[in-house]
Amino acid sequence: MALFDQLGKYRNTGILLIRVGLGIMFIIHGLPKLQGGPEMWAKIGLSMKNLHITFFPVVWGFLAAATETFGGVLFLLGLVFRPVCILLAFTMLVAVLNHLSQGQGISGASHAIEDGIVFLGFLFIGPGKYSIDKK
């Protein structure tokens, strides 16, 4: 459609919008988990049992909360972008497995599935022109 033909020039602006929006949401979602302390971290870390990892749930929970919070900041900024995408995609994989193991089905896991797909896509696309990682 001719009306939208010129929008292709703003590809990097679109990437920036997605990075900022998703980054902010992950900060908002992860910060309460990070501030929740060892009791919250242990509860989150128990999700690793779906990967048959049952040791150090507090550590795994802290890492998940830190990945969501600080990963959101780094994703937003476009800093160490691809490693952050891998960490966030893995965190979403664990979230998907947790939702499925609780019997919530695809609809219960859909948000984590969608986010994981976005992070994997960005792993290939990169952070775009408007990022700290820009070369």
Residue 3 lies in a domain: no
Mean pLDDT along residues 16-31: 97
Count: domains in the chain: 1
Residue 18 lies in a domain: yes
- On the question of pLDDT at 1 being above 80, the answer is no
pLDDT digits (tens, 9 = 90+) for 78-110: 999 999 999 999 999 999 999 999 999 999 999
Residue 4 lies in a domain: no
Q: Which two tokens stand for residue 62?
A: 């802290």
Residue 134 gets which letter from DSSP? -
128 contacts 122 by C-beta, under 8 angstroms: no
Residue 77 lies in a domain: yes
66 contacts 34 by C-beta, under 8 angstroms: yes
Residue 86 lies in a domain: yes
The torsion angles phi and psi of 75, rounded to 5 degrees, stand at -65, -45
Distance CA 18, CA 7 (A): 15
Residue 135 confidence (pLDDT) = 61
- 120: amino acid identity, one letter: L
Tell me the whole-structure pTM to 2 decimals: 0.93
Residue 21 lies in a domain: yes
Domain extent for 72: 11-125
pLDDT digits (tens, 9 = 90+) for 40-49: 999 999 999 9
- On the question of pLDDT at 128 being above 90, the answer is yes
Radius of gyration, alpha carbons of the chain: 16
Residue 134 lies in a domain: no
Q: Which two tokens stand for residue 22?
A: 């998703």
Flag the least confident range among 8-12, 27-31, 62-66, 116-120: 8-12
